[in-house]
Amino acid sequence: MSELFNLSNKTAVITGASSGLGVQFAHALAAHGANVAILARRKEKLESVKQEVEQKHQVKIEAIACDVTDEDQVKQAVSEVVAKFSRVDILVNNAGVGGIGVVEEMTLEDWQKVIDVNLTGVFLCSKEFGKIMIEQKYGKIINIASIFGAVGNLAFPVVAYHATKGGVVNFTRGLAAEWAKYHITVNGIGPGFFESEMTQEVGENPDANTFIKAGSPMQRWGKEGELNGALLLLASDASSFITGQTIYVDGGWTAV
């Protein structure tokens, strides 16, 4: 059974990998043998992550500066990954922004920024890295959605975030159906509340913490590493007959 989760000789690309969950994902995939290309806008932070992963895991790793909303930068990142690793087996579309703001006061610019990063970025990276997967007749795409892609909420004014993450969930279904013929699986992970750079401000708010614990049957935040099981399942051949699904790792949030 352990061979099903073996990622040796696979190449994984992770967007939004300069902090938070992206860093955890890089360590998790590298620990199971995957070579990793980490992408984000902040090259200096990427280099720090690269050093961390290299020191801990015996794999190849490349840090590539890339804004996922810029089509030319995404295409350039694909070229760099292929030049370094020759192939792309796994794509983790993790880059995202929060976008707090009540609708009646939200500017079109603020709305568009969230759309561009959270939804258009997933489209661009899937499209461009997917071309390599289509040529290979193999690929595993994992889109990071959210519990807020499945439900609304009463505590945080994040309609743009809800809209984009709901879009990611159905983008996942649609692309899974379209690319199944190429032996590419497309799935999603919907995290609940996990500690990250994006959620730091929320974690420091006592009222927000009360809301989060009350909304989850397990009455707590997710812990570091608790997304790794779903990630490894969907990145490996253990999920060879799973596609179009979003797994919610949320302590039961979306169950009630």
Looking at the annotation, which residues are catalytic?
161
The closest alpha carbon to 142, from 21, 9, 18, belongs to 21
Three-state secondary structure of the chain: CHHHHCCCCCEEEECCCCCHHHHHHHHHHHHCCCEEEEEECCHHHHHHHHHHHHHHCCCCEEEEECCCCCHHHHHHHHHHHHHHHCCCCEEEECCCCCCCCCHHHCCHHHHHHHHHHHHHHHHHHHHHHHHHHHHHCCEEEEEECCHHHCCCCCCCCCHHHHHHHHHHHHHHHHHHHHHHHHCEEEEEEEECCECCCCCHHHHCCHHHHHHHHHHCCCCCCECCCCCHHHHHHHHCHHHCCCCCCEEEECCCHHHC
43-56 vs 20-31: helix crossing angle, rounded to 10: 30
Tell me how far apart the alpha carbons of residues 39 and 49 are, in angstroms, rounded to a whole number. 11
